[in-house]
Structure 1
C-alpha cells in the first residue's frame, strides 16, 4: 500500500498540520480529511477541528488556497499541484496524474487512503482483529467506497446517490453488539445510534428544503442572465449558482457558463451533452488542457488565465473579462 512512512505515523505525538483547498468542497477532500482524522487524531473532535474550536488537538486542519499556507502545511491534499507522498503532498489535478494499476485515476481521498487507510482502520476498530483482517478490511473499503469516489471525482463514472435509508441503517449498532458489550450497553448504544441518525436526517431535511428554495431563486437568475446574453452560447452569472438544471429543462443552447469562483477568480465551465453526464457539448481547446498561468496565457493569447483542467471541462482567469475572453476564444477555436 505504501513503501514510505507517511507523515504523522512515524512519530505519533508530533503535531501535524493538514491542509486542503477552500471554496466548494466535494466527497473527495471531505473523505480525505476524515481519513486523516481517524489515522492521526481519532480522539479529537472531527467537527470542532474544522471550525477551529479545538486548539490543543494534535491535528490542525486548514482550508486555504494561500501559497504560503500550502507551503507551511505538513500534509496538503487536493490542492498544490504536487503528488509526493514522502513529502506529504497529495494532489491529483496534474496533467500526469497518479493512476491505479488498472488505469483509474486517484482522487486525493484515494491517495490518502493508500497511505493512511490502515492506520485509520486500526483506530476505528475498538479491539484488535485477526491477522490479515486489517488488510482485508482495507481492500473491502477501497472497493466499496474509495474507488467510487476516485471515479466520480475524476469524471470516470458517477457515484450516484446513497439512499437515506442506507445511511440511517448504517448508523445503527451491528448485530453482535449485545454479544460484545452486554444487553444493557447494547440498549444504550441503540438509543445513541438513533440520536445520531436523527441528527443526520434532520440536517438532511433542512438542507433539502433550503436547497429547493435556492434552486427556485437560481432559476430566475439564470433565465434573467440568459435574456441579457449577447451570445446565447455563453451564459454569464454574476454570482456562482447551479445553472445546469435550468439549461436542460428550458433547452437553452448554452455551451459555457462564466461565473465567479472566489478570490477574484472567474471560471468557465463547459455544459455537458446531457444533464448529469460527464463530457461537454463543446470541450475546451485541446491545447489548453492541464496548463496553468504563463504557459496557458501563451497558448491561449489571454493574459490573465489561471488554469485549464486536463479533462477540459473547466478553466479560469483572474478577471471576469479574462474568463469571458476564454469562453469566446474556445468557441472560435472549436469553429475553426
Structure 2
C-alpha cells in the first residue's frame, strides 16, 4: 500500500485533474481510471466523465498524448514517462520501470491500486469497516485481479480468452473505423468504447470487492462453527455459505458439511479430497444412492430423509437434526465397511 499521502486523499475537496493517454486502450488504464473514480469521487458519473471530461464533481478526466496538457494534470497514469507518486505520476513504460517485490513489473493499474486501492475499497463498501478488513480485501484483489493485469500489460503472462483484458479490448472500435466513417466518428466511438469498458470494469471491481468481503465473513463463521463442533469431521453451519475454501486453507479434517438448503430442508455435502475435485473424502453410503423420501428413510433409518444423489456426494433431510444424523450414520457405515474389508 501507499507510503505517502496520494494526491486527493489528504481530506481536501479541491478539484483533481486525472489524465491518461488517448488512442487504443487496455485493461490497465481502464481499471486505473475506475480506481481513481471510486477513491476520489465515487458519486460522480463514471461514463459521463469520460465522454465530457467532467460530470459536475471534483474529478476531471482527460485522455490525451499532448505534452503540454499532460503537464497540467494532477494525476497522470500510463503516459508521460515519469513514475513519481508524490507528484501524481504513474507511468511504467520507462527503462527503469517500477517493480513489485517479486520482480513483476507494475502496470498503471497496479501502481494506482497501491496508492488508491484502499480508498476505493472503502467507497465501494460504503459501510464503515475495520482497517484489517480493508487490508485483507486489498491483498486478495491485488493477487487475483491486479497482478494478472500487471503481468498481461507487461508481456509476462497473457490473460486468457474472455478475461477482463479481452472484454476491455472488445469495447474498442474496429481498426478500420476511421476509414469507413471518418476521423471524427472514430474518435467518438473510441471515447464511447472507453466509457463502456470503464463501466464494465467498475461493475467487475464492485462485485469482486463484495465477494471478498463476504468470503472473509464466511471464513470467520466457518472457523467458529468448526471450533464449536463436537465431531470435527462434521461441520454444521446455520447459514448456507462457501466453506470449502476455508476447510482446505486451514487443513481442517471436515468430511461433511451440514447446512440449510431452504426453509424445510438441510443438506449434507461431502468434501472432496482435493479442492474443486469431484471425489469425496468419504462418499455417502452406497445403499442410499439415488433414493428419495420413504425409500431413503426406510434404508437409512432417518424418518425425514429427503434424497441422496446417485453420485453420493450430497443428501438431505427435512430438519437439522435429520441431516446431522445422516452425516453421523454415513461415517459409521464407512468405518464399518472399512473394518469388514480389513478382516477379509
- TM-score by length of structure 2 reads 0.48
Structure number with greater Rg is 2
- TM-score by length of structure 1 reads 0.49
